[in-house]
Structure 1
Amino acid sequence: MKSRLATFAAAVLAAAAAVLFSVGPAYAATGLHVSGRDIVESGGQTFVMRGVNHEHTWFANETDSFADIKAKGANTVRVVLSGGRWTANSAADVANVIALCKQHKLICVLEDHDTTGYGEDGAAYTLDQAVNYWIGLKSVLVGQEDYISINIGNEPIGNTNAGQWTSATVAAIQKMRSNGFQHLLMVDAPNWGQDWTYVMRDNAQTVLDADSQHNTVLSIHMYAVFNTAASITSYLDTFRSKGWPLVIGEFGWQFGAGEVDDQTLMAEAVARNLGYLGWSWAGNNDPILDMTVNFDPNQLTTWGQRVFNGPNGIKATAREAAIFGGPTTPPTSTPPTTTPPTTPPAGGGCVAAYSIAGQWTGGFQGEVRVTAGNAAVGNWTVTLAFPNGQTVTQVWSATVTSSGSTVTARNVGYNGNLAAGASATFGFLGTWTGTNGVPAVTCSAT
C-alpha cells in the first residue's frame, strides 16, 4: 500500500494466516510447507519469517535494497508486485526479484498488491484476477518452491461486505492448485487485512480445508486495530488454540497512542515462534512508516531501529533459512543491550543525545536517547531549545510541554527508572521552516 498512512485509522492493512491438519499434510516434494502451526523447509527445519516489506512495484530500480535488507539481519522479504493496477511487473522482472532474493539468502514472499481494498476501493482487482496474474508468471515460479511463498492478494477485501472473503479466498486457493502450483500459499484477511470483523478468524478452517495440498498459511496485518497488548494477545491466542499457522504479514509501530503496540507484537511473536514482516523498508507517501531515509541503510529511522535492533527485533531473533546454510535451530541469544551514544556523567544525573531520524519538506522525525550516569535514576527530564522555531506535533515514549521554542520532555511510567549507565529513547514528529537546526539539549534526573 503506497499511501498506507492516509487510510491508517479507518481501515488498515491485511492479515493472513493458514492452517494445516495434524495428520501428515500433502505438500511439494521439495519446498516450504506447513506442518501443524509451523512453516517448515524441505529438509524438515522449522523456518520463522523475520523480515520487512519492500515496495518493489513502485521502486523497481531500488534493487540494492535486497542486499541492504539482508545486511540488517532479515531472513525474509515480502515483495510488492502488480499485475496491472500499477505498472505491471513482468515475468522477467519477477524472475530477477527471485534471483536477488536467492543471491542474498532471503526467503521471498511475493504478493500481488492489485487486490488491496476490493469492494471499497473501486480500482482494486478481484482475487480471481490475482490468480490469473500468478498463472501468467507460472514459468518463473515453478521450481522455486524452496525459496518463495505466494501471497495471493494483498488485503483483498476492504470493509464493505467483508463476508465475501471466505468464498473468494477458497476459490482462489482452489484455482491455484488446479493450475498446478505446489508452493506455500499465503492469504490475507479482509478489513484491509486487519480482520476487525473476525471473518478470517471465524472461517479460517473452511479456507484451510479448501487447499488440496494443505499448504496455506494465514497472514494478519496489524495496525491501529491492534493498539493494545490485550487486542494483540487475544487475537493470537485464538489461532494458537485452534492450531492454525499464522504470520504477521505487515505491521507498523506505536508512534502515537492509537497505533499498533509493536513492542508487544514482536515480543508475542517471538514467544509463540510466529513470523513477522514489518511495513516497510522505504517509499511511503508519508514517511512515518519508512524504516530508512530514502532507501539508505545507513540512515535507519526510529521505526527502523525498533524493528531491526530493538528488543525482540530482527537482528536478535532471525535465523537464516537452512537451505542457504543457516542454523538448523533458532538462535538462543538475548536481545542486544543499548550502547550509550555519549559518555555518561561521572556522578548521578543523565545525558541526552539528539538526532534526526528522518526529514522531509516542512517536517521531520527526531529521536533523543537518555543515558543515566554512574547512579540509577528514577525519573528524567530533557529540555530541547530549538534555534529555528521548530515545533513538536506528536511524541511517543515521553510526555511533552512547550513554551515558545523550548520543549520539555519527561519520562512516562515505563522508561523513567534507569540503572546506572542504562538508556531510554523517546521520539517525536515536528515541523520546521527554512532551517532545521540542532537544539541545545540538557538532561536532569532524580
Structure 2
Amino acid sequence: MRSPERRRRTAPRTAGLLVTLLGLLLPLLAVTTPAAHAAPTGFRVENGRLLEASGNDFVMRGVNHAHTWYADRISSLAHIKAKGANTVRVVLSSGDRWTRNDASDVADVVAQCKQNRLICVLEVHDTTGYGEQSGAVTLSRAADYWIGVQSALAGEEDHVIVNIGNEPHGNTGYENWTADTKAAIQKLRDAGFDHTLMVDAPNWGQDWAFTMRDNAASVFAADPDANTVFSIHMYGVFDTAAEISDYLGHFVAARLPVVVGEFGHDHSDGNPDEDAILAVTGQLRLGYLGWSWSGNGGGVEYLDMVTGFDPNQLTSWGERLFDGADGIAATSEEAAVYGSGTGEDTTAPTAPGTPGASAVTASSVTLRWGAATDEVGVTGYDVVRVTGGAESAVTSTSGTSATVTGLTPDTSYTFAVYARDAAGNRSQRSATVSVTTSPGSAAGACAVGYRVTGEWPGGFQGEVTVRNTSGSAVDGWTLSWAFPADQRITNMWGGTPAQSGSEVTVTSAPYTASIPAAGSVTVGFTGARSGSNPSPTAFVLNGADCSVT
C-alpha cells in the first residue's frame, strides 16, 4: 500500500514566520490586475474573491482525497459529499514518482465529482518538496502533465480548478518559487487553459519564509487571465491564532484570493491550531480543505478523517472537521452550478436594507439592516468594509445584525452588506453606512514590561507586555517609546508598528485591543541593530506615562 509522504519543516522558525498585520499592509500591497486576454468561462477571481461563472461567491468547504494511491476508492467522493462537503481536492500523479493518472482516469474523476455535485480541485503531487525531496519534479514538469491530460479538462472550467503542483518547493531553493510559479502559469495559459489555477506555497506548503505571501501580488499580476488562487498549507508552522489570522488577513487586506489547501489537527512538526483555522476562515469567508479523507501512513495515520475509508467510522479529527463548530456541515454551501436542489435557481436575493450603526466604541460597532427577500430563502449575510471603492470581507452572519470588532480608535469606516440565498446567489450590495469610532480610553494607570528574548549579530527578538493597572478596561490602545537610532522593528505580531527615526508607535491588533482591568496583553517583534541593544526606559499608553517593570 502506497502512503502519501507528509510535509515537514526542517528550517528553524526565523523572522520569516513573524507576521505583519493588516493595517500596515493595506497601503503597501495594491494589486494591479492585468488585462485578461480572454474572459474566464467558469470560475474566476474578482477583487480577491473566487466567483463561479454565474457571479456567485464560492467558498470551498471540503477535504483532500489521495486518489493516486487509492484509485479503487473512487466511491469516497460520494461519501465525502454525503458528509456535507462542496469541494474535494484530488491527489494525482504525473507519473514521475507514482503511477501516472492518464487523461481517461482524470476524466473519470471529474465525472464522479460532477455526479456527486462536488467542485474538483485537481493537484499533481510529484512536485512535493522539490529541491529537497528526492525524485520531486518541477512546476514546469507539472504543467507539462496538465497539457498532456488537457482533453479531460476542456470545457470543465466551471467544475474544475487546476492546482498546478503540490508544495512545489521544500526548504532548499524555495527562493525560486516566484519565477517558477509565474512560468508555470504562463505555460498553461499559452496552452489554452482557461481554468482558475491554484498555486501552493513553498516550504512544504507552509511558507514560513513568506515567499508566497510577499510575492503573491506579482504572481497574480503575471497571470494574463487574472485568475489565480493562492493555497497555504497549515501544519506546525501555524500553531497560534495570531499567526493564522495575520497570514490570511494579509491576503484579504491586499485583495488577493487565498484558501487553506491543507491542514490538520496535529502534525509531526507541531500542533496546528485547527480551531483558529476554522474560525478565521469562517469569519473571512475563505475556503479550506482538510487533510485527508483516509489512507495516511508513515506515522501520520492520525490525519485520517475516517478509518479504513469507512464513512461510518469517523475519527476524532473527522468529527471535528465535519461536525464541529465552523466545520463543513455547518458552513458548506453547494456550488451554484449544481443548482443546490432548487431547480437551477439563478435569481439573487434583493439587496439588504441600509445598515444602521449603534454601540460604537473605540474598537467595535454593531450594524443592523433590513432583511433581504428571496424566493428560496435568504441563508446569510456578508458584511464588507468599503475603502476607496474596493471591498474586503469583515464577517458573515445568518441574522440581520453583526458586531464588527478590531477597529482602530478615532477612525472612519464605511460598511455595506450582501445577502446570500440557498442556491449560493449573492445580492447586490446594500447602501453603505459610515461610522467613526470613538477615541481610545485613557489608560488611567499602566505598567510596561520589556524584555529581549533572543539576540544574534545584527538583530534581536523582544516582547512588550502592557498591563492595565486601572480599575476599568482599556478598549483600543497605542503604545510609544524611543529606541536608539540604530534599533528598528522589522516585524511584529500582536500590534502594528510605525517608526520614525527613534520614535516607535505600536497600535493594538484586533485580538489585543481590549485590556481588562488588572489584565495584560503581550506583543512580540523582531528588530535590527548595529550596536548595543539597550532596553527603552519610558513608555506612553494612550497619552499616559506608564511605569516600567
**TM-score w.r.t. length of structure 1:** 0.70
- Post-superposition shift, 1:161? 1.7
Q: Which residue of 2 aligns with 1:159?
A: 171
**1:18-53, CA deviations, whole angstroms, 9 ceiling, x for partnerless residues?**
x97569866545201111111101111111000000
Q: Distance in 2 between matches of 1:83 and 1:255?
A: 27
Once residues 116 and 187 of structure 2 are traced to their aligned partners in structure 1, the CA distance between those partners, rounded to angstroms, is 32
Could you give the per-residue CA deviations for residues 31-87 of structure 1, whole angstroms, max 9, x where no partner exists? Answer: 011111111011111110000000000000001101000000000000000011100
5+ residue gaps, structure 1, are: 13-18, 335-446
**Contact 2:86 2:118 survives alignment (8 Å):** yes
In the TM superposition, what is the alpha-carbon distance from 1:258 to its structure 2 partner?
A: 3.3
Residue 91 of structure 2 aligns to a residue whose secondary structure is: strand
Letter paired with 1:294: G
- Please report the RMSD computed on the Cα atoms of aligned residues, expressed in angstroms: 2.3
Q: CA deviation at 1:8?
A: 3.9
Using the alignment, how far apart are the partners of 1:116 and 1:257 within structure 2? 17
Match of 1:110 among 106, 114, 122: 122
Q: Which moved more, 1:30-39 or 1:220-229?
A: 30-39
Q: For the Cα contact (< 8 Å) 2:9–2:204, is it kept in 1?
A: no
Q: Distance in 1 between matches of 2:269 and 2:177?
A: 30
The partner residue of 1:141 within 153, 171, 179 is 153
Structure having the higher helix fraction is 1
Q: How many residues align?
A: 327
Aligned amino acid, residue 294 of structure 2: A
Provide TM-score, normalisation by structure 2. 0.57
Q: Which has the higher contact order (CA 8 A, sep 6+)?
A: 1
Shift of 1:108: 0.2
**Match status 1:277 vs 2:299:** no
One-letter amino acid matched to 2:201: A
Q: In the TM superposition, what are the counterparts of 1:265-414 in structure 2 within 5 Å?
A: 265-285=277-297, 286-326=300-340, 331-332=379-380
The equivalent position to 2:113 in structure 1, one of 101, 104, 120, is 101
State how far apart, in whole Å, the 2-side matches of 1:213 and 1:302 are: 41
Q: Share of identical aligned residues, percent?
A: 54
- Residue in 1 aligned with 2:232? 220
User: Displacement, 1:162?
Assistant: 1.1
SS in 1 for 2:313: strand
CA contact (8 A) 1:20 1:216 kept: no
Q: Is the 8 A contact 1:112 1:151 kept in 2?
A: yes
Q: What amino acid sits opposite 2:302 in the alignment?
A: I
Change over 3 Å in CA distance of 1:62–1:180 after alignment to 2: same
Other-structure match for 2:452: none
Could you tell me which of 191, 197, 216 is aligned with 1:204? 216
Please point out which of 48, 52, 62 is paired with 1:37.
48
> Aligned partners of 2:187 and 2:36: how far apart in 1?
19
Equivalences for residues 418-437 of structure 1 within 5 A: none
Aligned-pair CA distance for 1:255: 7.2
| Alpha-carbon contact 1:227-1:260 (below 8 Å) kept | yes
Whichever of the two has the greater Rg, that structure is 2
CA contact (8 A) 1:283 1:290 kept: yes
* Match runs of 1:5-20 below 5 Å: 5=6, 7-8=7-8, 10=10
Please list every run of 5 or more consecutive structure 2 residues that lacks an aligned counterpart in the other structure: 13-29, 350-377, 381-396, 399-549
- 2:530 corresponds to which residue? none
